[in-house]
Structures are given as structure tokens and as C-alpha cells.
Amino acid sequence: MNSKVYLDHNATTPVDSRVLDVMLPYFSEHYGNPANNTHSFGKRAENAIEKSREQLSRLIGANPREIFFTSGATESNNMVLKGIPSFYEHKGNHIVSVTTEHKSVLCCCELHKKNVGKLTLLDVDNFGLIKTNDVEESLSDETLLLSVMMVNNETGVIQPIEKIGKICRAHGVLFHSDAAQAIGKIPFNVESMMVDLVSISSHKMYGPKGVGALYMKKNKPRVHLTPLIDGGGQEDGIRSGTLNVPAIVGFGEAAQIAMERLKEDGLRLIAQREHFEQGISDQLSNINIIGYTSRRVPGTTNISFSGCNGQNLVKELKGLAVSSGSACNTSNVEPSHVLTSMGLDYDSAMGAVRFSLGRDTTDADIEFTIGHVIETVKKLRTSI
Ligand SMILES: *Cc1c(COP(=O)(O)O)cnc(C)c1O
């Protein structure tokens, strides 16, 4: 399989060439340990880390002191979902999340329940959205934390984060958002969204893999958590371990570039996606663009082709890199939990393919994909 057109940017993105350029000197030239800053090697690394912290904080409207570097959004999610109930154990043991979250959140939720914590998972409607009424009703005196992803990785649907943040703040409940699919794609501001904790991933925004961050609010309220990883006390003792300096430097640059390009990329991706969806709808009947009427991030579309199996379709779409179901468990033949939660029946969920466009997607890529998808779906439908 030799894919030529990559439309799987929600699984991961290529490292921007400007990002790679700023990273390279930090491998074998400026290789100091930022924790050993009594000499120039360490000092140089420390300065680079602090620059990245500033670049990232600017992208989300935070203070640099509120940014903690991690190995990615999976780790950040684990830190929150495990570390908050542990730290605030005396206050209660109820957490609230949503059925369509990423597995790294859902697994921690299940673990919390297994450890005899209380758990509420909110349902979504056919549009992929939770209802603010349900949020309000789920909260009790025992509730410590509400965790709602900003943008769903499979559908691109955007949850009403500001409204949920307001409810949480009014009830004194900590609010976490897994924003791995939001940051770098749409404007994000921790103040206006009233979030207390945010998970961020570098490789979803044209930075290197294996690095991410947790935003944790420092004032009104100051948020605490029990660390997952103890040791040398790096990152204010919240996440020990020698920092991955080259990756963090790249992550910071990726944040800077995202800020510069966000608007322009967004407009282009919306136009490309609309053209794509129109092209497919014009030529194929019985398709369902999932979450079509909801607010979605630019560049993501998930389409269910009735009478086709998504996995077969993905296999038949040679020269095209796309995902069926969730990319994180491709060996799994179960329908996606996100799509079934949205009320899709088994066959529709199994017939879904996610196309996620990105910064490097050209109009020619879109034309190729439209033609290829139409031809392949028609072929598969007649072969039944
Ligand atoms: C990719 C992704 C993650 C995991 O991020 P990593 O940095 O790969 O650990 C978590 N949540 C969402 C919504 C994602 O898309």
C-alpha cells in the first residue's frame, strides 16, 4: 500500500519544516539539561524551554507558569482524571464525562469507577452534542471534576465549552477539556472558556510526537493534583523526568506557527471540505455526513456510505490515507463508540470513513479524492 494523498491529519500531522529546523540544534549542539542550569549548556536549554512555554501559553491565552510539559495528551488526560480525584479525595469522589470522549479519558473514568468512585457519563444527541441541562443536572456536592473534550477526533464536532465552563464555575466544579483536536485549529482561550485544566498534543498541530502539555489554572481557583510521575521535581513537581528539550522546542514553534496561520488555514480548509462534501453528495446517494449541521472544526468530515463497509472501503481506496472508525484501535472491528453514541445504527457506523484535511492538503488532493471515493463506493455497492 503506497498512499499518496494523506487525509488522516486527525491521527497525526507531519512536522512543519520550520519546526524541524528549530529542533535540530537541540540534539547534539545545545544538549544541556535545563535542570542543571549552573552552566551555559543547561542555561541555554532552560531558556529554550521557557520560550516554548511562552509560545504555547500565548496560543491559549494562559500564563506561562500554567503550562506543564508532558509526553502528550494521553498523559495529560491521565494526570487530570487520576490526579484530581486523588488530590481532592476529601471533597468528594464524583466525576462527570461524556460517552464520546477519547479512550484515554474513558479508560481513566472506568478505572475511577472500579476504584469505587462515582461516575456519570453524559450522552450526546444525534448531532454529537451534550445538553447543558444534562450537565447542570449531573452535578452534586460530591462532584469534583467535569471532563468534556472540546473537539471530537472522529467527527470534528465542537462542544459548547464556554457554556459548560460557566456552569462548572458557578457550581465550584473543576472543568477539564481534552483540546487535542481543537488547539491550532480554532481559537482557544482559557479565560473566556472558563476551563481549569486543558490537555494539548504537539503531534496534532504539526509538532513532533511524544510531547504535549497540561494547562492548569494558577489563580481563582488554583488547581492542584497528585502527580502521576514523581522524581526530580521538574515542572514544579507536577511531572518529574528530564525534559525532552528538542521536542518541547519544536512544540513551541508549532504553537507559534499555528497562531500565525490559524485564520488563513481555517478558511481554506472550510472551503476545501465544503467542496469535498458537495462533490461526494452530488454523485452518491445514501450517504450521511455525520454531525453535518453541528459546529465542526475546519477540515474534518466523517461520512457514512450505506451499503459499504468502512474498513473495506478504506482498503479499496488505494493511494489515499484515511481512517475508518477510531484510528487509535484499528485492529478493532467493533463500530466506533463515538458514532454509536450519536445514534448511528450498526451498519451506518461500520460504513463510516473519516477524512481529515490539513495544512498540506491541496485542491488537487481533494479532486483526486472525490473521484476516487465515488468510483470505489459505486464499485463496492454493485458487488454486493
Ligand atoms: C490524539 C488525541 C489524544 C492523544 O494524544 P497523544 O498526544 O497522542 O497522547 C487525546 N485526545 C484526543 C481528542 C486526541 O485526538
Q: Where are the alpha helices (DSSP H) in the chain?
A: 17-23, 25-28, 40-60, 73-87, 103-114, 132-138, 161-171, 190-193, 245-283, 310-316, 337-341, 346-350, 363-382
Q: Ligand 1, residues 74, 108, 199: which to mutate, most atoms within 8 A of Cβ?
A: 74
DSSP string, 277-310: HHHHHHH-SSEEETTTTS-B-TTEEEEEETTS-H
Q: Compute the distance from residue 124 Cα to the ligand 1 centre, in Å.
A: 20
Tens digit of each residue's pLDDT (9 = 90 or more) over 192-201: 999 999 999 9
Residue 213 has pLDDT above 50, yes or no: yes
Beta strand extents in 85-229 (DSSP E only): 94-98, 118-122, 143-147, 174-178, 197-201, 212-216
pLDDT score, position 334: 87
pLDDT score, position 1: 53
Contact at 8 Å (CB) between 315 and 367?
Answer: no
Contact at 8 Å (CB) between 147 and 80?
Answer: yes
Q: Ligand 1, closest atom to CA 211?
A: 7
323 CB within 6 A, ligand 1? no
pLDDT score, position 375: 96
| For range 294-323, the mean pLDDT | 94
pLDDT band at 333 (very low <50, low <70, confident <90, very high): confident
Q: Compute the distance from residue 380 Cα to the ligand 1 centre, in Å.
A: 32
212 CB within 6 A, ligand 1? yes
Percent of the chain having pLDDT more than 70? Answer: 97
156 CB within 6 A, ligand 1? no
Q: Ligand 1, closest atom to CA 210?
A: 7
| For range 38-52, the mean pLDDT | 97
Q: Compute the distance from residue 11 Cα to the ligand 1 centre, in Å.
A: 8
Residue 7 has pLDDT above 50, yes or no: yes
Q: Compute the distance from residue 228 Cα to the ligand 1 centre, in Å.
A: 18
53 CB within 6 A, ligand 1? no
pLDDT band at 329 (very low <50, low <70, confident <90, very high): low
Q: Ligand 1, closest atom to CA 201?
A: 7
298 DSSP β-pair partners: none
Q: What is the mean pLDDT of the chain?
A: 95
Residue 372 has pLDDT above 70, yes or no: yes
Q: Compute the distance from residue 307 Cα to the ligand 1 centre, in Å.
A: 31
300-9-192-255 Cα dihedral, nearest 10 degrees: -150
What 8-state DSSP symbol labels residue 263? H
Domains, the chain, ordered by start: 5-12+262-382 (3.90.1150.10), 17-256 (3.40.640.10)
Alpha carbon nearest to ligand 1 atom 3, residue: 73
Top-confidence residue, 2 or 142: 142
Contact at 8 Å (CB) between 337 and 110?
Answer: no
**Cα 231 to Cα 360: distance, rounded to the nearest angstrom:** 40
pLDDT band at 249 (very low <50, low <70, confident <90, very high): very high
Instruction: Tell me if residue 93 falls in helix, strand or coil.
Output: coil
Alpha carbon nearest to ligand 1 atom 14, residue: 180
Q: Compute the distance from residue 116 Cα to the ligand 1 centre, in Å.
A: 26
A 10 A CB-CB count for 110 gives 13
Alpha carbon nearest to ligand 1 atom 7, residue: 72
180 CB within 6 A, ligand 1? yes
Q: Which of 233, 310, 232, 299 is nearest to 261 (CA)?
A: 299
Per the annotation, the verdict on 107 as an active-site residue is no
Separation in Å, CA 256 to CA 50, 55, 202, 268: 14, 6, 12, 19
Which of 177-181, 223-227, 344-348, 364-368 has the weakest average pLDDT?
344-348
pTM: 0.96
Half-sphere exposure for 220 (CA within 13 Å, toward CB) = 4
DSSP string, 317-384: STTEE-EES-GGGTT--SPPHHHHHTT--HHHHHTEEEEE--TT--HHHHHHHHHHHHHHHHHHHHT-
**Cα 166 to Cα 131: distance, rounded to the nearest angstrom:** 14
